[in-house]
Amino acid sequence: MSTTDKELRVGMVGYAFMGAAHSQAWRTVNRVYDLPARARMALICGRDTAKVADAADRLGWEAYTTDWRDLINRDDIDVVDICTPGDSHAEIALAALAAGKHVLCEKPLANTVAEARAMTAAADVARAAGVRSMCAFNYRRVPAVTMMRQLVADGRLGVIRHVRAVYLQDWIVDPQFPLVWRLQKDRAGSGALGDIGAHIIDLTQFVTGQRISGVSAVTETFVKERPLPAESSGLAASVDGHAAPTGPVTVDDAAVFVARLDGGALATYEASRFATGRKNALRVEINGSLGTVVFDLERLNELEFYDATRPAVEQGFNRILVTEGEHPYMSAWWPPGHIIGYEHSFTHEMRDFIEAVANGVDPTPSFADALQVQLVLDAVTRSAELGSSWTEVAPALTAAAV
């Protein structure tokens, strides 16, 4: 169906955490923004019939299926939204692009560089036929983050010298937490590095306009064996008083690395799911020759801004409340001072995606942008395996070019 008919019929694969977040955004986006096409929540896909039927009813989808191939092969689907674990991203995206469907894919783009290269090459081919694709790095769409980028682009910070980024969680601190898919390399690709580290890699490159060119890294897996989930082992937490069987954790629990950006800045990154007491703590600080700007996800409507060009007696960190109608994305929401939340970043993501598809332009971040993040993840992994040796980030060549 042509987008000139003013409707984009969306089929989404996956219905858990990210599926719920994306569903909320698809339900909301046309109710708050005046867009050139209307998103229609046509079909949701999941493997378990009962669970996906419940998700369709609860999340607002018109129909459901248990086979993503059925979703892609339907003529009444224009957009495929991929919210599955990383091990299925490439297969679904490649099939969707080949079928002429626009694709929105969750991050990280894939589990391997080879998969990400293949997806990027397929997106390049599909683009020539008017098929669009985007990777879902939602934190780009937090208004304060977009404003942070504007301050850098406008030269308000001068020459960028330092980048500091951390993303800290603690949901697997308990060694008895089960061996879920996010702790298995074949499903997730990597652990804290790909799950949350990918976010701060993309966010800092987006804000600074510089790309990471080389890294020195260390990773650690603190708990190397975990109880198998009851649903995968077929057993309860214990059998006849004995502990349930365990399996190996095959991903990192934490990753720390230093980096050099191609514009000359020095950077430090930390991603951990073992930071006790930290639930979803993302913080980025950018230091430049003329000032500093700081973003903290736990205060996502605010920026801290230090303007070193002001007279010395007036200098100090200023709190900017990013809720004015003139601020990025905020014109559709509430009066100044009325804050928004995490879920709004996904609504903004869908807004940008719909506008790009309907207007025939390429949305960002593209698969090529996401491939570059994948290459950084790969460089971090290789550096850690080589005793933290300095490791250059490979060039972002597509599969067609190698």
0.75 exceeded by pTM: yes
Task: Pick the more confident residue, 236 or 147.
Answer: 147
pLDDT at 184: 97
Q: Is the pLDDT of residue 182 over 90?
A: yes
CB 10 within 8 A of CB 103: no
pLDDT tens-digit readout, 306-325: 999 999 999 999 999 999 99
C-alpha to C-alpha distance for 46 and 55, rounded to whole angstroms? 9
Contacts of 128 (CB under 8 A, 6+ apart): none
- Average pLDDT estimate for 72-85: 98
pLDDT tens-digit readout, 208-263: 999 999 999 999 999 999 999 986 433 334 445 567 799 999 999 999 999 999 99
pLDDT at 199: 98
Label residues 139-148 b or e (16+ Cβ within 10 Å = b): bbbbbbbbbb
- Average pLDDT estimate for 159-173: 98
CB 22 within 8 A of CB 346: yes
Task: Give me the domains of the chain, ranges plus CATH numbers.
Answer: 7-138 (3.40.50.720), 142-364+375-382 (3.30.360.10)
354's tokens: 């719909």
DSSP 375-387: HHHHHHHHHHHTT
pLDDT tens-digit readout, 19-43: 999 999 999 999 999 999 999 999 9
- Residue 372: count of CB within 10 angstroms of its CB: 23
C-alpha to C-alpha distance for 140 and 149, rounded to whole angstroms? 9
Order of strands across the sheet that contains 79-82: 63-65, 38-45, 7-13, 79-82, 102-106, 133-136
pLDDT at 230: 81
pLDDT at 244: 79
The distance of Cα 226 from the centroid of its chain, to the nearest Å, equals 26
pLDDT tens-digit readout, 348-390: 999 999 999 999 999 999 999 999 999 999 999 999 999 999 9
